[in-house]
Amino acid sequence: MTRHIRWQILLIVLGAVLVAVLLAYLALKYTTVLRPGYGGTYVEGAIGSPQYVNPLLSGYNQTDRDICALVFSGLTRMSERGEVVPDMARGWDVSPDGLTYTFYLRSNLFWHDGTPLTADDVLFTIQLLQDPTFPGSPDLGLTLWHMVTAEKLDRRTVRFTLAEPYAPFLDYTTVGIVPAHVLTGTLPSELPGASFNLNPIGSGPFQLEEIQAEEGAITAVTLKLAPTYYRDRPYIDRVQFRFYPSFQTALNAFEAGEVEAISRVPAADIDRARAVPNLSLFSTHMARYSMILLNQQRDDLPFFREAEVRQALLYAIDRQGIIDRVYRGYAIVPDSPVMPGTWAYKDDVKEYDYDPDLAEQTLNDAGWFRQAVGDRIRRKQGAWFEFTLLASSQPDKTAVAQEIAEEWRTLGISVTVQTASAIEVRQALEMREFDAILVDLTAPGDPDPYPLWHETQVSSGQNYSGFVHRRISEVIEQARVVNSRNMREELYYEFQDLFAEEVPALLLSIPVYTYGVDSSVNGVQIGPLTYPSDRFRTIGQWWIVPRRVFTSETEAGLP
């Protein structure tokens, strides 16, 4: 009996030694690493307040766009390279003549209330957009949709037929789809007053859980994981938006531990944000240009019609210096009217680095001289080089305009800066009532430059500067009707080279968007943004709750 107990003790001791040896070996060869785990609530401080959590009405309010990006889905979505990729549609076909687009819906689509999502919902949404009384944003392409015939081929197949070929059409299929079974009976004109706007039922990765309000004002919106979502499950269980009147109050909330992120950090406040512990800043450029348009349809402004003069005006602007001084470096200097990083961007076009000496020589070569010693203003054939530069009264826009005007004055150009409200500047732009005007223009999605630079758009379109160039018009006209990606790319490359040579507008800067996130939130990545809400493109890979994994040092990335 005693011998039997001794053997048991010996076996236990030997087992313990073997376990210790094994653990020591594993400790030498393996390690534990943190991997994404499921769960947790992501809390973001947003500036403003939601009004319409409805993708058809969200175009005027960034907060609405942010929430809709998580709650709703479209047939397609836009990648960071400006490419249209499948979303609720698993794919599509385009007819050889470019007139017919057939979309095939995924088989596992459901609304957040469990109702199947079908072709009927797609048709219902398009019919709302096509109704003359629909009150949504022009960004949705309402004019285009009025010329499209939409039909249901079966439960999961929809066909769109265009009146004429239009290659950028796919951009418009990114619009969020709304549920027919909820909104049927609501007239398009009644949509702004519908209860659906604050009780949305979508098909995106998150669904509405709760709206909190105090004294009639919405203070927070909480979204929870949607079990019906058709793509991979995000790691985060909940997303909560808390609303603040300004960046300063949102940053105070971050420092107090109320939120884990700030939706936008203005350039003027970057230094303060950098000093906040655990606040990681993510920056990328937006699909927007700041530029000066020159009115080339006015007989009293003959200089703007000369390409050499436009080139000289651009050479004379210290664009990087202005970005550093006014925007604290949070913008980039553009050389092309096509967004950097997108599929049609050409990275070797002619550049206009700051060179006042070359600007002076170019003006002289074009015949714009100071006619006598002591003349401060250039003239040519009796015409004086003088004009007014109109800009918004916003401090940063006024500062940019003043700096540029001073640089031009040193060249012998008489420039008067005039400021007005943003609405008045927009009105002057649309009425063509300006000499030169400093504006911001968005460049979302497809790089189609037709609205801004085709000669047919001078009078009633968006060719506000009145620029006319036959070859540019031919190139961009052809690019919007061919379906071949390679052919379109070649045409847009030619357009960019021509644009760089002709300088129909003075491209000044592309704004940089900065997003602040607590260091405890992992996996955050943002690429180029069409809209700020695109920062949520990769939210499926964000994680808060860690999962400890036993792995080899090589797998863990250790030396």
Q: Angle at Cα 164 formed by Cα 161 and Cα 167, nearest 5°?
A: 85
Q: How far is 306 from 383, CA to CA, in rounded Å?
A: 14
Write out the chain's pLDDT in tens, 559 residues: 555 555 555 556 566 656 565 555 555 555 667 789 999 999 999 999 999 999 999 988 999 999 999 999 999 999 988 899 999 999 999 999 999 999 999 999 999 999 999 999 999 999 999 999 999 887 788 889 999 999 999 999 999 999 999 999 999 999 999 999 999 999 999 999 999 999 999 999 999 999 999 988 999 999 999 999 999 999 999 999 999 999 999 999 999 999 999 999 998 899 999 999 999 999 999 999 999 999 999 999 999 999 999 999 999 999 999 999 999 999 999 999 999 989 999 999 999 999 999 999 999 999 999 877 667 899 999 899 999 999 999 999 999 999 999 999 999 999 999 999 999 999 999 999 999 999 999 887 889 999 999 999 999 889 999 999 999 999 999 999 998 899 999 999 999 999 999 999 999 999 999 999 999 999 998 888 889 999 999 999 999 998 877 665 445 444 4
Hey, what are 270's tokens? 């970057």
Hey, what are 452's tokens? 């801004």
Domains, the chain, with CATH or none: 32-48+204-278+519-559 (3.40.190.10), 73-199 (3.90.76.10), 288-511 (3.10.105.10)
Residue 324, helix vs strand vs coil: helix
Residue 321: what residue type?
A: G
Identify the CA nearest to 84 among candidates 345, 445, 442, 346: 445
Q: How far is 472 from 488, CA to CA, in rounded Å?
A: 14
Instruction: Provide the 10 A C-beta neighbour count for residue 69.
Output: 24
pTM (predicted TM-score):
0.87
Q: How far apart are the first and last CA of the chain?
A: 53
Q: How far is 13 from 20, CA to CA, in rounded Å?
A: 11
Residues composing the chain: 559
Identify the CA nearest to 221 among candidates 436, 51, 395: 51
Instruction: Provide the 10 A C-beta neighbour count for residue 322.
Output: 22
Q: How far is 123 from 136, CA to CA, in rounded Å?
A: 17
Burial class of residue 23 in the structure, from the number of CB atoms within 10 Å of its CB (0-12 exposed, 13-18 middle, 19+ buried) = exposed
Place of tokens 């160039």: 469
Hey, what are 102's tokens? 């057939």
Q: How far is 445 from 80, CA to CA, in rounded Å?
A: 9
Question: Rounded to the nearest 10 degrees, what angle do helices 470-479 and 485-502 cross at?
Answer: 160
Residues 6+ apart with CB under 8 A from 30: 550, 551, 552, 553
Residue 303: what residue type?
A: F
Identify the CA nearest to 240 among candidates 256, 225, 255: 225
Count of CA atoms in the C-beta half-sphere (13 A) of 245: 1
Identify the pLDDT of residue 559.
40
Q: How far is 13 from 118, CA to CA, in rounded Å?
A: 66
Phi, psi of 112, deg, nearest 5: -60, -20
Residue 481, helix vs strand vs coil: coil
Hey, what are 261's tokens? 């992120």
Place of tokens 């090589």: 554
Q: Write the CA distances from 288 to 64, 204, 509, 510, integer angstroms.
A: 20, 27, 9, 6
Residue 219, helix vs strand vs coil: strand
Provide the b/e sequence for 371-399 (b: ≥16 CB within 10 Å): eeeeeeebbbeeeebbbebbbbeeebbbe
Identify the CA nearest to 443 among candidates 530, 549, 354: 530
Q: How far is 39 from 437, CA to CA, in rounded Å?
A: 50
Burial class of residue 446 in the structure, from the number of CB atoms within 10 Å of its CB (0-12 exposed, 13-18 middle, 19+ buried) = buried
